[in-house]
Homo-oligomer: A and B are copies of this chain.
């Protein structure tokens, strides 16, 4: 935080800052965790100086990751979230009444505790939902140890590929994610910015296409992330079923979404920037 009350994330000669004040800052076992109160977006979370979320713009991220997967899978009884310590991804998943069991595996228990304390609207009712099973631990090991075909949905809600999240971007991890999906299941992950993290984004999509045989990036917005332009990538055991939201499930959540709708999703899967599309096809 600078002397004029700005809290910034710096990324390659660019900064995005909010005016506000730091409510809490500590070094957990894994990373620096900062909770702020901003004028524009309410309370927010940074990890190692990078914006993760804020009350006033979290839905751009969480709706984009969750509903394409949960509206498209054949069944959604058993859900695994790797990361997602702020609780927003779990909250959106649990809006779907067909979800019976949700395992959330977050490596940093302090992120969960501080989110529960300072950002309770992120998790909402998820923290006390009887379907929610929170484990503090290594999501990569969890996926490696999980039984074949044991989840309908696997969502990866991690930070950038440095520090504790680095292992969420490699072939072995993605192969386990595929292995533990039931037939008709859907995998989804945040997949970085096609602008600010262009190479990582391209590599992730290509690697997922190798592992699953196909994968589709969806392009949206998270204003506080580098460039504001963000992506999530989906794959499934049996083709691109995430592109066809089941109408009943979609209708049950769409009316209270800020961003997501079947129409928005259709557009977001098509809005592949021309140069990215050429690189992915080439």
- Cβ B17 vs Cβ A14 within 8 A: yes
A253 — nearest CB in chain B belongs to which residue? Answer: B274
The answer to whether A195 has its CB under 8 Å from any CB of chain B is: yes
Contact A270 B263 (CB under 8 A): yes
Q: Which residues in B have their C-beta under 8 angstroms from that of A260?
A: 274
Q: In which size bucket is the chain A interface? A: 35 or more
Partner of A271, one of B16, B195, B267: B267
Given known A-B contacts A17-B17, A229-B223, A264 and B257 have beta carbons under 8 A apart: no
Q: Which residues of B contact A14 (CB under 8 A)?
A: 16-19, 40, 223
B268 near A271 with CB under 8 A, answer yes
| Residue A135 CB within 8 A of the other chain | no
CB distance from A42 to the nearest CB of B (A): 11
| Interface presence of A258 (CB below 8 A) | yes
- Please measure, in the bound complex, the distance between the C-alpha atom of A113 and the C-alpha atom of B6, giving whole angstroms: 35
Q: Is A221 an interface residue (CB 8 A)?
A: yes
Copy number in the complex reads 2
CB distance from A261 to the nearest CB of B (A): 4
Q: A259 contacts the other chain (Cβ, under 8 Å)?
A: yes
User: Does A264 lie within 8 Å of B258, measured CB to CB?
Assistant: no
Query: A20: which B residues are within 8 A, CB to CB?
Result: 13
- Distance in angstroms between the alpha carbons of A260 and B277 in the assembled complex: 11
Q: Is A269 part of the contact surface with B, judged by Cβ < 8 Å?
A: yes
A270 to chain B, nearest CB (A): 3
Given contacts A14-B16, A195-B223, A221-B221, contact A266 B270 (CB under 8 A): yes
- 9 extra interface residue pairs, beta carbon distance < 8 Å, beyond A264-B271, A267-B267, A268-B271: A6-B15, A13-B38, A13-B39, A15-B18, A196-B223, A260-B274, A264-B274, A264-B277, A267-B268
